[in-house]
């Protein structure tokens, strides 16, 4: 009997028992469909977790104000807040301490000049308008923002950031400028690094003979902090100075913030216990219970979604694994049920002399035909499920799931091979069980 005749015979056997064949196809199709649905949900879970982290990572920080008005007070306050940073699980504790001259007078840009190797530079540009995000320093009323720099490399809350020129001011007597401040004075970043600079205000030197260690981008914190809030919640300095000990007497801390950054949304929410109602100021209790913060409605939403993508997501993943195991057991049952229906027919073929290998081949071909039909039906149902699932996800989460054709093709190929192995194992076992 040729291979073609064997396939024709198998097809006739399948069509001879249409009712049973339809039941088997439905059983196979449901098993395949459930497996494909689990694949779609698993891919969505991974894609959404990555999208969620990328979207909200810049909001995974909070800050407290620095209230010290002298360097001894500041030293004590920073020590306490660093301890708090460890207690709340923050990955980075960023100290942004603003400075003013000891007399407390605001340093306006119109009064500032830079002495670079003895050459005076004054502001070259002026424009009108309100200062936005501390960037519009060309207004006559804008101030020179000075921040204190310490030896802590993670001071800016962005460990991966590097100066666009030079190095960090790690030694006393060094300072770091940003490229926007230099543009106001008409200075090129490549020409300033390594030079000695004196900052003069109304013919009075407030910083004398400091070395410019490097130049940093004005948007240093933008890739680490949210840009969606008000001016009070977004802070960019323009001059970062590592004060000499003797120069501390000429300055006083005038505020600033301590920022607590978390590397992921999950690490942020896992360190807090959330309670309260959104409209009444949700209270956030720290791990040690020392500090309370107020969550906005958006913050509460982020925490809720994090719960579903973390704890609930792991439960869902375990449930999906269990479902896949049950589906595999169901496939064994469906295979055995189909072979059981034509037991007498196969016994008759054995009695008239058909070889065992031919009988087993006939069974395999019948199951392959039924499996192919079930696979086609399952793929069609999967496409419908994905379209409905994507519509609902877009409406609820504002996220558009991608259909991973390559992964689906790989799963179909792998599933076909597994189905072939299962079929062969069941056919062999069944043949041994029913043979005369």
Q: What is the pLDDT of residue 114?
A: 92
Q: What is the pLDDT of residue 105?
A: 82
Low-confidence ranges of the chain (pLDDT < 50): 128-135, 157, 159, 230-234, 279, 436
Q: Give the angle subtended at the CA of 268 by the CAs of 262 and 273, to the nearest 5°.
A: 150
First to last CA, the chain: 24
Write out pLDDT tens, residues 226-265: 665 544 444 556 788 999 988 988 999 988 888 788 888 8
Q: Is 354 exposed, middle or buried (0-12, 13-18, 19+ CB in 10 A)?
A: middle
Q: What is the pLDDT of residue 347?
A: 66
Q: What is the pLDDT of residue 267?
A: 81
Q: Which residues have CB under 8 Å from 381's CB, separation 6+?
A: 29, 33
Q: What is the pLDDT of residue 230?
A: 47
Q: Which residues have CB under 8 Å from 4's CB, separation 6+?
A: none
Q: What is the pLDDT of residue 432?
A: 67
Q: What is the pLDDT of residue 132?
A: 43
Q: What is the pLDDT of residue 312?
A: 72
Cα 258 from Cα 251, distance rounded (Å): 19
Cα 97 from Cα 103, distance rounded (Å): 17
Domain ranges of the chain: 3-54+310-434, 61-261
Cα 59 from Cα 166, distance rounded (Å): 29
């Amino acid at each position: 009997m040729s291979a073609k005749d064997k396939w024709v015979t198998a097809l006739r056997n399948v069509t001879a028992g249409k009712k049973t064949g339809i039941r088997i196809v439905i059983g196979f199709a449901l098993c395949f469909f459930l497996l494909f649905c689990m694949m779609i949900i698993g891919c969505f879970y991974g894609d959404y977790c990555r999208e969620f982290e990328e979207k909200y990572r810049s909001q995974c920080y909070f800050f407290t104000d620095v209230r010290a008005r002298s360097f001894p007070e500041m030293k004590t306050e920073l020590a306490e807040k660093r301890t708090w940073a460890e207690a709340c699980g923050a990955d980075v504790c960023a100290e942004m301490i603003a400075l003013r001259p000891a007399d407390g007078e605001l340093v306006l840009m119109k009064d500032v000049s830079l002495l670079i190797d003895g050459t005076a530079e004054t502001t070259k540009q002026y424009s009108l308008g309100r200062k936005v995000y501390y960037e519009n320093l060309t207004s006559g009323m804008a101030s020179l923002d000075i921040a204190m720099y310490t030896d802590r490399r993670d001071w800016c809350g962005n460990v991966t950031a590097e100066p666009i020129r030079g190095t960090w001011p790690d030694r006393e007597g060094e300072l770091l400028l940003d490229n926007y401040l230099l543009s106001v004075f008409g200075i090129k970043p490549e020409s300033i690094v390594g030079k000695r600079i004196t900052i003069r205000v109304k013919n009075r030197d407030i910083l004398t003979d400091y070395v410019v260690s490097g130049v940093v981008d004005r948007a240093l914190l933008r890739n680490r902090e949210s840009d969606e809030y008000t001016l009070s919640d977004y802070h960019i300095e323009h001059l970062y100075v590592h004060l000499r000990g003797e120069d501390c007497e000429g300055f006083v801390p005038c505020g600033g913030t301590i920022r607590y950054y978390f590397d992921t949304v999950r690490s942020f929410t896992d360190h807090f216990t959330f309670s309260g109602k959104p409209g009444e100021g949700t209270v956030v209790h720290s791990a040690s219970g020392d500090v309370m913060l107020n969550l906005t409605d958006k913050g509460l939403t982020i925490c809720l979604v994090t719960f579903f993508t973390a704890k609930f997501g792991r439960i869902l993943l375990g449930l999906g694994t269990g479902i896949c195991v049950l589906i595999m057991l169901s496939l064994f049952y469906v295979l055995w049920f189909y072979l059981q229906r034509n037991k007498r027919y196969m016994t008759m073929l054995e009695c008239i002399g058909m070889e065992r290998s031919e009988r087993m081949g006939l069974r395999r071909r019948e199951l392959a035909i039924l499996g192919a039909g079930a696979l086609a039906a399952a793929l069609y149902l999967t496409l419908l499920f994905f379209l409905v699932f994507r519509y609902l996800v877009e409406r609820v989460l504002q996220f558009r799931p991608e259909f991973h054709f390559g992964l689906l093709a790989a799963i179909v190929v792998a599933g076909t091979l597994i189905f072939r192995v299962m079929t062969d194992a069941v056919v062999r076992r069944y043949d041994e069980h029913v043979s005369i």
